[in-house]
Amino acid sequence: MQKASIMPDSIEQAAKLLAHAKTVVALTGAGISVESGIPPFRGKGGLWEKIDPMTVAHIDALENNPERVWNVLIKDMKIKLDNAKPNPGHTGLFELERLGILNTVITQNVDGLHQRAGNRDVIEFHGTFARQRCMDCDKCMDTSQVDLSTIPPVCTCGGILRPDAVFFGEMIPHEALINAQRAAAACDIMLVVGTSAMVQPAATIPFIARDNNAVVIEINPEPTPLTSRISTLLLMGGAGTMIPRLVQQIRNQLETT
């Protein structure tokens, strides 16, 4: 078993590896958006400290009582997402793409902040809150065009609208699953940022990378189940601090090579 290094020189080591990598993929989770004011599900300040996930974030809850799920989870989440802006973690990942280092972002987030930061190849593994989908006719529309004066909001056909995002108990959109698995298998470094690695099947993505000989580098204030199993380095801290530091180190590396 391999143990991730959490020594102070980890950033320098990570920068060296990244500066020489051919293909880099980032897998991000709720943690990268914490510094944009969006709480994660698990961990300190997480939503699950207040709500039982199975009563609001499971597909059965949505189908049985959409009004409650809208009132308890979706409405509040939507207000937070509407007010959120990309933070230095997101802009740092865009900077890595601009430097020609980062190829693809696979995100479990539904907040659209990677695209707003500028990243172009973003796989939305769990869908997005930017669209709403009719539970009857499947028509999709931009959330900004949805009349939220009635909860739950309704489609022109009269069906109830729901976020075009994956609830517990639902399948991952086929294209996102295939594209994420392909990207993971093809990278030589996977940066795993702000995910507890507890949600399946997203948590298997770093294992696909590792099984194909990629180096796994985590950025998280806490160790995760990946840390002692497959990560080579853990850059321990918030994404908004660690990613800009990493970008700066990579610039230094590139200037001296």
- Determine, following the binding rule CB under 6 A, whether residue 46 of this chain makes contact with ligand NAD: yes
206 binds ligand NAD (CB under 6 A): no
Q: How far is the CB of 196 from ligand NAD (least distance, A)?
A: 3
Among 27, 239, 247, 250, binds ligand NAD (CB under 6 A): 239
Active site residue 126: yes
> Please, which residue, 117 or 155, has the CB nearer to ligand NAD?
117
49 near ligand NAD, rule: CB under 6 A? no
Restricted to residues 96-115, the positions that interact with ligand NAD (CB under 6 A) are 108-111
Place of tokens 């939220």: 148
Which residue is closest to ligand NAD by CB? 31
By CB under 6 A, name the one of 27, 35, 61, 124 that touches ligand NAD: 35
DSSP string, 186-239: H-SEEEEES--S-STTGGGHHHHHHHTT-EEEEEESS--TTTTTTEEEEEES-H
Shortest separation between residue 81's beta carbon and ligand NAD, angstroms: 7
Instruction: Pick the binder of ligand NAD from 195, 231, 232, 249 (CB under 6 A).
Output: 195
3-state secondary structure of 4: coil
Helices (H), the chain: 10-19, 53-56, 59-64, 66-69, 75-83, 88-98, 113-117, 174-186, 205-211, 239-256
Pick from 32, 56, 102, 117 the residue near ligand NAD by CB under 6 A: 32
8 A C-beta contact, residue 163 and residue 110: yes
Q: Is the alpha carbon torsion for 112, 114, 120, 121 positive or negative? A: negative
The answer to the question of residue 43 lying near ligand NAD (CB under 6 A) is yes
User: Contact with ligand NAD (CB under 6 A): which of 221, 229, 244, 248?
Assistant: 221
What is the separation of C-alpha 189 from the centre of its chain, rounded to a whole number of angstroms? 17
CB of 35 or CB of 155, closer to ligand NAD: 35
Matching residue, tokens 């207040």: 50
Q: Please give the Cα distance from 104 to 119 (Å, whole number).
A: 8
Q: How far is Cα 91 from Cα 191, in angstroms, rounded to an integer?
A: 15
Does residue 31 interact with ligand NAD by CB under 6 A? yes
Q: Which residues contribute to the site for ligand NAD (CB under 6 A)?
A: 29-35, 38, 40-43, 46, 108-111, 126, 194-196, 198-199, 219-222, 224, 238-239
Q: Which residues are catalytic?
A: 126
